Amino acid sequence: MSHVKPEKVTRFERIGMHSHIKGLGLRNGKALPIADGLVGQIKAREAAGIVVEMIKSGKMAGKAILFAGPPGTGKTALAVAIAKELGEDTPFMVLSGSEIYSAEMKKTEVLMQAMRKAIGVRIREFRKVYEGVVKDLNIKFDRHPYNPYQQVPVGAKITLKTTSEERTFTVDETVTMELLSKGVNVGDVIWIDAESGKVTKVGISAEAKESIDIGVARKVPIPSGPIAKEKEFVYTVTLHDLDIMHARRGSIFSLLFGGREEREISPETRATVDEMVKKMVDEGTAEIIPGVLFIDDVHMLDIEAYSFLSRAMEGELAPIIILASNRGFAKIRGTDMVAPHGMPIDLLDRLLIIETKPYDENEIREILKIRAKEEKIKISDEALNYLTKIGVEHSLRYAVQLLAPASIVAKYRNSDIIEVEDIKKATELFSDVKRSAKYLKEYEESFMK
């Protein structure tokens, strides 16, 4: 390993399998051959674009989508693209069909929580606060009631100033502990929530004396207006967050600053939350952000989960449900019935089914180029053609997986560019599914059964 060039230290960057997806790549409803990280699948992308328009116009109630196609045909990529098209604030919850089989919760509870996590609620709240720059701070200490040798803070006097006024306040031990825990000093700009006593340190006053050479606190101007004022706070939470908050019988602040989480939440609690959210929307203090629940390998669900899903998707506060399956005719789990995609016929009748087709050679080449660029890997034209051939003969996923190992092999020969020999070496070290199956047959007697 001594012949490998030492690499400079760079910041950690995790590149996901679909980090290159930026949208559906549509222009006036027509899919471009290559756009927004997607390649090919013209009909599927245009169908997904229509789904996005239906979602935005509120015409997806009681419906769901099924992406059906062989493995490696972009079903998950299309689901991610739909979420991107709906906006950055759109909650996107991913669930595998096998995840519902938990020892801690019922299957229906796992599905319900996933659905509630896929619906956002943007809450606008006005709260009374005291805001200003700290001009003076005196902490009062007294003996601990159970340990006379220890002193504890019991109160404080704090002077706050804005451009308009200056006032001195006497605060109790709760606010004092907040001031100490946040490290508030003279010259800091803070605000104190009048209801909860929570202290937020905004930064250091731009007029404070320079006493620190290196620091992370940002400088902010002295607040204007009166010290006591109402401020608007915007919280974006999910319905599941509100369920937990209500189960604790707390407030939005108990949600943000910790507390015990319930394993399962009662239907009564959820019904109460739904009514509360509807009332807030009617009053104009909240806005519902419909999100996406993507259930991959949906054929792993059983007949009970399918029945629950059919009913749940018709609820008033249901997310956009996108399912994906790579199964043909298969048994419905929990029954002896064989059905398309391993799903009940009555549920399939409720779905908008979008088919994905295998990629051709040119599309595989373009996808490999996009992934190489995303992973910051250089590859020669000859190596790209060879890798494309592997993708056609074996699978696109296998070809994409070979990019990173081949780049390491190239570095072993002090090169930053992947050549054909590097890919050949990577294929020798890492088998595809067909070669692995052949190996199993060859040494079948040696393996445990």
Break the chain into its structural domains and give their ranges.
26-118+291-355, 125-233, 361-442
The reply to whether 125-233 shares the fold of 26-118+291-355 is: no
Taking the C-alpha atoms of residue 160 and residue 36, their distance in angstroms, rounded to an integer, is 51
| Nearest residue to 326 (alpha-carbon basis) of 75, 39, 153, 16 | 75
Q: Structure pTM?
A: 0.64
Q: What is the pLDDT of residues 223-271, one digit of tens each?
A: 888 888 877 777 778 888 888 887 766 444 444 444 444 467 788 888 8
Taking the C-alpha atoms of residue 279 and residue 287, their distance in angstroms, rounded to an integer, is 11
Exposed, middle or buried, 18 (CB in 10 Å: 0-12/13-18/19+)? middle
Give the pLDDT band of residue 337 (cuts 50, 70, 90): confident
Taking the C-alpha atoms of residue 206 and residue 417, their distance in angstroms, rounded to an integer, is 50
Q: What is the pLDDT of residues 147-194, one digit of tens each?
A: 777 777 888 888 888 888 888 888 888 888 888 888 888 888 888 887
Q: At residue 88, what are phi and psi to the nearest 5 degrees?
A: -65, -30
- Kindly report the CATH number that applies to the domain delimited by 26-118+291-355: 3.40.50.300
Taking the C-alpha atoms of residue 333 and residue 80, their distance in angstroms, rounded to an integer, is 27
| DSSP states of 58-110 | T--TT-EEEEE-STTSSHHHHHHHHHHHH-TT--EEEEEGGGG--SSS-HHHH
CATH 3.40.50.12280 fits domain 361-442: no
Taking the C-alpha atoms of residue 22 and residue 113, their distance in angstroms, rounded to an integer, is 27
Contact between 334 and 308 (Cβ < 8 Å): no
Question: How many C-beta atoms lie closer than 10 Å to residue 78's C-beta?
Answer: 27
Residue 375 scores a pLDDT above 50: yes
Mean pLDDT of 39-47: 85
Give, in order, the Cα–Cα distances in Å from 249 to each of 37, 109, 260, 265, 266: 45, 20, 11, 12, 13
Q: What 3-state DSSP class applies to 159? A: strand
Mean pLDDT of 199-224: 69
Which H/E stretch holds residue 368? helix 361-374
CATH 2.40.50.360 fits domain 125-233: yes
Residue 13 scores a pLDDT above 50: no
Taking the C-alpha atoms of residue 411 and residue 420, their distance in angstroms, rounded to an integer, is 14
**Beta-bridge mates of residue 38:** 35
Question: How many C-beta atoms lie closer than 10 Å to residue 17's C-beta?
Answer: 14
Place of tokens 């003279």: 186
